[in-house]
Amino acid sequence: MLDFEEPSAQPPAVRPLKPIQIGPITIEAPVILAPMSGVTDMPFRRLVKKHGASLVVSEMIASQAMVRECRKTMQMIQRSEAENPMAVQLAGCEPEVMGEAAKLNEDRGAHIIDINFGCPVKKVVNGHAGSSLMRDEVHAAKILEATVKAVKVPVTLKMRMGWNHENLNAPRLAKIAEECGIKMVTVHGRTRCQFYEGQADWSFIRNVKNAVTIPVIANGDINDFPDVIKALEMSGADGVMIGRGAYGRPWFIQQVMDYLRTGVIPKAPSLQHQVETVIEHLESMLEHYGSHAGLRIARKHIGWYSKGLPKSSEFRDAVNNVDDASKVRELINGFFFPLLEKAA
């Protein structure tokens, strides 16, 4: 929430990003919102898009659930015109089901289908989906091919470096993906066995970039402006995908885009704008999910928005212990408005 300060050390030279082509879709500034389960729902995507992002990606959707049209899943894939162009990410282990789920999403207005070969969560991996597919390149190719053939919209792929450091096969799998018709590859600079431990290896992503001619996007640990430059320089990637760096900062992706154009590190939006964004986000979630579920899901976002501000810990504890939306609104006003008065 606080304004960014100029770093004491001079950051590496800015390399302005060139537009990338994903099939017929042009992304003018490839700084992309990553798919994050429980985070990149329609209210958050719409807010990030409103702040200027070129491309946003949905939460990971289980292809089996999509085909069965589970109520929760159908809510997860809801989209608005304000998000265009928007990508839906699918996970699954059955080529035919993945193809069917992709076609259903295309019919519902998705502009891009993204395939998940990167999720490290045990529940997903034990179902032979997500990063588990990196261990079976033949079966992975069947899934890629079936999904591409099922739709007319472009299909992209998100994966990790490999299953573990003994099996770093992302460059080879990226080449297979390109041959299957995949139009862009995003690489998280960790293995599955690392989960989210350690530091993302942006330099390894250069091996993927050298293996294919389609756009390659770097992902993992891109949380501030120097990270963006280092990730691009070390990976040689065509763009970056930002996940946790956007927590509580739906404007961050636009800031990165501006930074890469100008070389000037921008300050955060005014506190007034931030407060208005918190309130807008809360109301959007209450409308989307209903009062009870919306408030429960909104709590983490409200906590992220308040991070770094005075007495934010006490504020978060209070929000987490209230089950009435009107009381949460009162807590937000009581927390932020004294700060606004002080800043005036």
Q: Which residues are catalytic?
A: 119
Residues forming a β-bridge with 322: none
Distance CA 63, CA 288 (A): 22
Structure tokens of 87?
């990508």
Distance CA 221, CA 208 (A): 18
- With beta carbons less than 8 A apart as the criterion, state whether 40 and 56 touch: yes
Closest CA to 328 of 310, 341, 308, 305: 305
Cα 101 versus chain centre, distance: 20
- With beta carbons less than 8 A apart as the criterion, state whether 307 and 261 touch: no
Residues 6+ apart with CB under 8 A from 326: none
Distance CA 15, CA 320 (A): 42
**Three-state DSSP state, 134:** helix
Q: How, if at all, do strands 55-62 and 86-91 pair?
A: parallel
Structure tokens of 21?
């082509």
Distance CA 124, CA 118 (A): 10
